[in-house]
Structure 1
């Protein structure tokens, strides 16, 4: 029976970006499936009383240094976005809309946004910057904006977020194998280990 990793993610988390760069390889090596589940990290924080480590200056400085160490270990580019934190409500609605209505473009869509945020350091708090990134990658910004205003898309993202909270998610990235939760990109070795177990 093929195992599945459910990957609860929000684009605004640099740790989630690092997990995103590694999970496909881990799943390929373990012949497992990877399921992407967009959620709204701000909603999770509000419901659980959690907050970004970056809100505590000393912890934030350490976290960014640690993420840089992991990026070097993984051999992937990482630039801490100078505009962090990013309000991801519209972005995550767009991601959800693409997943629902244009699933064949989903991987390219999240890839261009993750890279815009965590490689190029773009200010995706600004609608004009988002539109520029989308246009560069062959998307119609007006079409994407329409998706973010679609009630079914809003409802799907809300449901994903509420489901994550019910399952015990308190931050991102969060990964489930069955009912077992793994939190943080620094726990990917445990994810791989669980997938290898028969």
Structure 2
């Protein structure tokens, strides 16, 4: 059986962005597969009673400082988005649609959106900004919006989110190695260790 990391993610989480920058390297070094599973973090929060740490001002300030520490450790760019929090319903439906219908372009799609959010700090709450970002990365906004409104895509994202909740996910990023759950960009060393033990 091949070694796999199941990566439950939502674009709107800066901690998820940091994990996304590191997981491909970890998987390459451990000869493992990385399986991206888009979910809706808002749905997870609603079902579990959890909320973003940023709603508590002192905790939010600390979280952003800590994320910057990790960005420096990983040597990756990070700009805390001035428009945070971002409503990611449309974005995560788009991600799900691309994954289902254009898997060969999935990596380029999430690369562009993660970069827009957490490197460029763009306001992806605005449909016109989303359209501009998609165009810049070679995607047709109207075609992507058709996927966003596709009922099978909506159902797939909802199903992923429900499965995540059933498996014990309460936030993002959440990663599974087998049945072991690891939460947070600060737990990647444990993800790597679990892969090496398989």
Shift of 1:43: 0.1
- Match in the other structure for 1:78: 78
> 2 CA distance for matches of 1:135 and 1:156?
25
- Match in the other structure for 1:42: 42
Superposition pairs for residues 15-94 of structure 1, below 5 Å?
Answer: 15-94=15-94
Which of structure 1's runs of 4+ aligned residues deviate more than 2 A? none
> 1 CA distance for matches of 2:131 and 2:66?
31
Q: TM-score, normalised by structure 2?
A: 0.99
> 1 CA distance for matches of 2:33 and 2:133?
29
How many residue pairs were aligned?
198
Q: Which runs of 5+ in 2 are unaligned?
A: none
- Match in the other structure for 1:178: 178
What SS does the aligned partner of 1:34 have? Answer: strand
Shift of 1:182: 0.2
> 1 CA distance for matches of 2:37 and 2:181?
14
Residues 96-132 of structure 1 show CA distances to partners (whole Å, capped at 9, x for unaligned) of 0000000000000000000000000000000000000
> 1 CA distance for matches of 2:82 and 2:97?
27
> 1 CA distance for matches of 2:137 and 2:12?
19
- Match in the other structure for 1:117: 117
Residues 45-83 of structure 1 show CA distances to partners (whole Å, capped at 9, x for unaligned) of 000000000010000000000000000000000000000
- Match in the other structure for 2:104: 104
State yes or no: 1:135 paired with 2:142. no
Report the aligned-residue RMSD: 0.5
Shift of 1:2: 2.0
